[in-house]
Amino acid sequence: MVTKNQHITLKAIRAQIDSPGYRSVYFDRPTNFQFESGDWIDIQFKDKELIGGITYSVSSSPTESNLRISFREGISEFKEALQSIHGGEKLYISQYGNDYDFNLKVNQSSVLIAGGVGIAPFRSIIKEMYDKHDKNEVTLIYLNQNDNFLFKDELDMWTKNLSNLAIHYISTKDINRKKREKIVLSIIKDPDQNFYISGPPAMVEHNEHLLIDNGIQTRDIRIDSFGGY
C-alpha cells in the first residue's frame, strides 16, 4: 500500500449528475499533483467538518487536465455537501494513494470486474490506456443492477479504438446468482492473468471467492471495496 499524506488545496469546478443516483465532481487539478490510475483520495472541506466518508476513487485519468471523483448519491452530511457543491468552493486532499497495488501491470493481461460505481477507478485506468495507446490485453466485466451503465458512451468509444480492450456489460436485474457466476466465469478464458475487483463490499467479496474457488491464485487478485455512506 502506498499512501501519501499531504495537504493539497482543491478548487471545485462543478458537480454533475452522471445518471440517476450517481454524480461526479470536477476539480481544478492542483499544480504538479501526480497520481496513478486506480488511486483514491481523502478529501475534506476547508471550512466545515462533516459526518460521512471522505475517501473516493479518482475517476479521471492522469492524462486529463481536471481531477474527477464519481460516486453514488448518499444522505450523509459529506455526500450532501458534495452533491450541492458550488464552483470555486475550496476543499483539500489530506492523503491519497493506492491500496493493494491497484494498477495494471505492464505487458500482462488483466481482467477488471466492476460492480455499479466500482467502475470509477476502471474509467481512470481505461482512459489512460486509450490516451497512451497501451497494448496490454484487458477485459472489463461490468456488472450493474440495471441497464444504466456509468460511462458507457465513453467506454464504447474507447473500445472501438483499442483492439486489446474487451468490454462485457451484464445487467443483473433478472439474473440469479448462479447464472451470473456462470456468465462471469465463461468470459474468463485464462486463469493466468491479473484480476481487479471494484465495487460494493458484498459484491467484491463474492467475486473474490468465486475466482479463488475456480483456481485463481489469491496473489493475482486485487480489490477496491466501496462502502456506502
67-126 pLDDT, tens digit per residue, is 999 999 999 999 999 999 999 999 999 999 886 688 888 889 999 999 999 999 999 999
CATH class of 2-99: mainly beta
Domain ranges of the chain: 2-99, 105-225
For residues 49-60, give the mean pLDDT: 94
User: Could you check whether 2-99 and 105-225 share the same CATH topology?
Assistant: no
Q: Residue 1's pLDDT band (boundaries 50, 70, 90)?
A: very low
pLDDT of residue 88: 95
CATH architecture of residue range(s) 105-225: 3-Layer(aba) Sandwich (3.40)
223, three cell numbers:
480489490
For residues 21-36, give the mean pLDDT: 94
pLDDT of residue 12: 97
Q: pLDDT tens across 122-177, in order?
A: 999 999 999 999 999 999 999 999 999 999 999 999 999 999 999 999 999 989 99
Q: Which of 90, 85, 120 is nearest to 14 (CA)?
A: 85
Q: pLDDT tens across 199-220, in order?
A: 999 999 999 999 999 999 999 9
CB hemisphere CA count around 147 (13 angstroms): 1
- ∠ CA 84-87-89, rounded to 5°: 80
Looking at the predicted structure, is the pLDDT value of residue 2 above 60?
Answer: no
Q: Residue 186's pLDDT band (boundaries 50, 70, 90)?
A: very high
- ∠ CA 164-136-224, rounded to 5°: 105
Looking at the predicted structure, is the pLDDT value of residue 56 above 70?
Answer: yes
